[in-house]
Amino acid sequence: MLHSAVALALCIQAQKAEEVYGRFEKSLVEAKCLRARVRSEWTTTSADGGIEAVLTLWCASGDKYKIAIEPKKGRDIAETTIISDGKNCWSRKSRKEEWHEGKAIPGMSTALLKGLARGSLLHFLYLSHGERPEVGDHLEVRKFGGVTNGTLGEREVLEFPFTMAVRQKAGDLEYRSRLWLEPKSLVPARRVLWHSDERGSVIMAEMYEAFSTEEIPESEFQKP
């Protein structure tokens, strides 16, 4: 009886976590406008010592978006800015570099919001190279644990673990994940993903320093 009661309680907790996460992802993907500032840090067992960067994302319906990546640490990441007005797209990897112009990528704004909801935003950009929106559908959230109430600094948060999988032909690559959300607004506060195998381990941590769904001026998406 005791084992059955414990199993039932865990099942209810997992269902609650999945329900909360579902509302969180829905609020992001359906947002007409979203601005987020994320401090992202990767720690690896490889010789490069990892990556640290600040990412700012502006996103609006109609495939309007702006991504700014400001490197803080690591050789494998460059200062990058990408701007789309929904029809055309401009990008550069340094302030000293000329802007490169091309056509806007259909579905990219929705993919960016999915990437922000399901996993590390920097990881999504790394996988998609900022050009493959279908990668957003390759990220799958599964295996929820129980949701708990806690604190993060002075903020009250909901904390719950789950698994984030990257679906690929060679087999799914699974990351253990933990997400902290503000209880009422479901604004993300922090996220950690980690993976370990015979090749080594990686830990991805994101702190959300700013997060808003207020209207974004059209000037943010204009030709630079």
- What would the two tokens of residue 223 be? 């030709």
Q: What is the DSSP string of 160-193?
A: EEEEEEE--TT--EEEEEEEEE-TTT--EEEEEE
The percent helix, strand, coil of the chain (3-state, each to 5) is 25, 45, 30
DSSP element (H, E) containing 116: helix 108-118
Give 49's contacts (C-beta < 8 A, 6+ positions apart): 73, 74
Do the Cβ atoms of 95 and 224 come closer than 8 Å?
Answer: no
Give, in words, the CATH class of 23-221: mainly beta
The residues spanned by each domain of the chain are 23-221
Tell me, what's the pLDDT at 205?
94
Low-confidence residues of the chain: pLDDT under 70 = 1-13, 46-49
Tell me, what's the pLDDT at 23?
92
Do the Cβ atoms of 79 and 70 come closer than 8 Å?
Answer: yes
Give Cα 38 to chain centroid, integer Å: 9
Tell me, what's the pLDDT at 12?
52
Orientation of helix 2-29 relative to helix 108-118, angle to 10°: 150
Do the Cβ atoms of 52 and 204 come closer than 8 Å?
Answer: no
Q: Give the model confidence (pLDDT) of 78-112 as tens digits.
A: 889 999 999 999 999 888 889 999 999 899 998 89
Using alpha carbons, select from 168, 172, 122 the residue that is nearest to residue 142: 172
